[in-house]
Amino acid sequence: MIKYVIGDATRPQGEGKKIIIHVCNDIGAWGAGFVMALSKRWKDPEETYREEKICDLHLGNVQIVEVEPDIIVANMIAQHGIGYSPDGQPPIRYGAVRVCLTAVNDLAYHIGATVHAPRFGAGLAGGNWNDIEKILHETMDVDVTIYDLK
């Protein structure tokens, strides 16, 4: 089930374990979009991302970072580069989104967590939210909350 709420995805609502998901690029660039809110709240997601060797930032990989006893941030590598390609293709890679979400779903199911996110992949990554929402429905067996800021 996907629920939409007004709020801050860095302050996930509800009880129990929570996984905050978002999209990262595969070139080691962290500095715009939702990651800025993450870095303001916790330092570990950015540090973990930056510690990876560029060759390890493969599309479809997920970095799991525990930021509080009941909150995990999942850095999903699902964006190729940081800009549109010369032929106009956005940096989002839907196949990588699917692989990442499948892995996050497995983790969430195993630890009894819910999943929380902004409308990831539809901002700077250039994705279409309707396409991403469809992938969420196809891959997630746990409750998902999507946050829109006021």
pLDDT at 135: 98
| Average pLDDT for 137-146 | 98
Smallest CA-to-CA distance from 76 within 41, 134, 131, 115 is with 115
Res. 72: pLDDT tops 80? yes
Q: Is 128 helix (H, G, I), strand (E, B) or coil?
A: coil
Q: What is the pLDDT of residues 91-131, one digit of tens each?
A: 999 999 999 999 999 999 999 999 999 999 999 899 999 99
Q: Is 54 helix (H, G, I), strand (E, B) or coil?
A: helix
pLDDT at 81: 94
Give me 110's structure tokens: 């195993």
Does the global pTM surpass 0.85? yes
Output the CA angle 29-42-50, nearest 5 degrees: 30
**How far apart are alpha carbons 59 and 62 in whole angstroms?**
9
Res. 88: pLDDT tops 70? yes
pLDDT at 56: 78
Residues 6+ apart with CB under 8 A from 65: 44, 45, 48, 72, 73, 74, 75
Choose between 135 and 57: higher pLDDT: 135
pLDDT at 134: 98
Q: What is the pLDDT of residues 8-60, one digit of tens each?
A: 999 999 999 999 999 999 999 999 999 999 999 999 999 999 997 766 799 99
> Which CATH superfamily, name and number, covers 2-148?
Leucine Aminopeptidase, subunit E, domain 1 (3.40.220.10)
CB atoms under 10 Å from CB of 31, counted, come to 9
pLDDT at 25: 96
E-only strand ranges, the chain: 2-6, 18-25, 62-68, 71-79, 114-117, 144-148
* Cα 124 off chain centre by: 13
